[in-house]
Amino acid sequence: MSYDGRGLKFGAVAELYDRYRPTPPLEASELFGDLTGREVLEVGAGTGLWTRFLLGLGASMTIVEPDHEMREVLERRSPSVRSLAGRAEELPVADASFDVVLVSSAWHWFEQPEATEEMARVLRDQGKLYVLWNGFSRDVPWVQELTKLRENPGDRNTRPRGWAADLSDGGLFVDVVNVEIDWTWVRSSDELLAVFGTYSGALVKTEAQRHTMDLELRRLIEQAAQAGMVEVPMTLRGTLATRSARSH
């Protein structure tokens, strides 16, 4: 992982991450279909929010996660899952051993092109790659104000803000398409405030900066709340691709 290891800071808030981060919307099942009998690898699985979702679709799950604290939460909640320590750039699994590879909200932490080449290596021919982000909708003004607060001004390690994987169609992958699914996440004011303490931009702030962020977040959230609940516009977006056939 790059960005001075910021992707590994999430372990410090692993339990909060699992409790407060958004789970996949039910509509996401339309992207995957029935996964019964399919071997699925999730890379950068975190605490298993997507792992549990894919298990519900029938998948046989293997996960790779570098942060041991995040991985411990996943293993406790999903003991049937094959759990491995490792990096996206050097996956500890065999060639052509998976039907599906999923990366959710982690692609921006990976070194390229190494990670893309590893995804292609472990996928079977015609296997599917899903690179997804599940987050706040970016075209709603009050949500834009919220998301700006979690960033650190002047932080040179701020991650890229794309919401798609840069996969060339016709190389290792074919049928590359970008997808978007809009959905609504209903949270209490306190729950929504707690979410922001799990983002990398908040984790690297000083205590004083986090206090200022929390005060402004509370003000914006209370303006949007109705009877203590907030309907948050969300978007699941990303890139789907098919592993091209190997030359034999």
In tens, the pLDDT along 169-202 reads 889 999 999 999 999 999 999 999 888 878 767 6
Q: What is the pTM of this model?
A: 0.87
**pLDDT surpassing 50 at residue 32:** yes
pLDDT at 207: 83
Total residue length of the chain:
248
Residue 236: strand, helix, or coil: strand
Instruction: Give which of 200, 203, 222 is closest to 145, Cα–Cα.
Output: 222
Mean pLDDT of 132-137: 94
Q: What are residue 153's DSSP bridge partners?
A: none
Mean pLDDT of 231-242: 96
* Residue 236, φ and ψ in degrees, nearest 5: -95, 120
Instruction: Give which of 43, 157, 158, 51 is closest to 89, Cα–Cα.
Output: 43
pLDDT at 154: 52
Give the separation between CA 136 and CA 30, rounded to whole angstroms.
Answer: 20
Give the separation between CA 29 and CA 5, rounded to whole angstroms.
Answer: 32
pLDDT at 152: 59
Express as a percent the part of the chain with pLDDT over 90: 67
**pLDDT surpassing 60 at residue 71:** yes
Give the confidence band of 248 by pLDDT, cuts at 50, 70, 90: low
pLDDT at 11: 53
DSSP string of 71-113, one letter each residue: HHHHHHH-TTSEEE--BTTB-SS-TT-EEEEEEES-GGGS-TT
150 half-sphere exposure, CB direction, 13 A CA radius: 18
DSSP string of 6-75, one letter each residue: GGGGGGGGHHHHHHHSPPPPGGGHHHH---TT-EEEEES-TTSHHHHHHHHTT-EEEEE-S-HHHHHHHH
pLDDT at 159: 47
Which of the two residues, 163 and 116, has the higher pLDDT score?
Answer: 116
Give the confidence band of 107 by pLDDT, cuts at 50, 70, 90: very high
Give the confidence band of 214 by pLDDT, cuts at 50, 70, 90: confident
Kind of pairing between the strands at 229-243 and 173-188: antiparallel
Q: Residue 96: CB partners within 8 Å, gap ≥ 6? A: 121, 122, 123, 124, 125, 246
**pLDDT surpassing 70 at residue 92:** yes
Mean pLDDT of 35-55: 97
Mean pLDDT of 138-148: 88
For 61-70, 84-93, 138-147, 201-210, which range has the lowest pLDDT when averaged over its residues?
201-210
Q: Average pLDDT over the chain, rounded to whole?
A: 89
User: In this structure, which amino acid lies at residue 60?
Assistant: S
Which of the two residues, 122 and 157, has the higher pLDDT score?
Answer: 122
pLDDT at 6: 41
Report the CATH fold assignment for 3-137+156-185+233-243. Answer: Rossmann fold (3.40.50)
For 81-90, 128-137, 182-191, 207-216, which range has the lowest pLDDT when averaged over its residues?
207-216
Give the separation between CA 74 and CA 246, rounded to whole angstroms.
Answer: 34
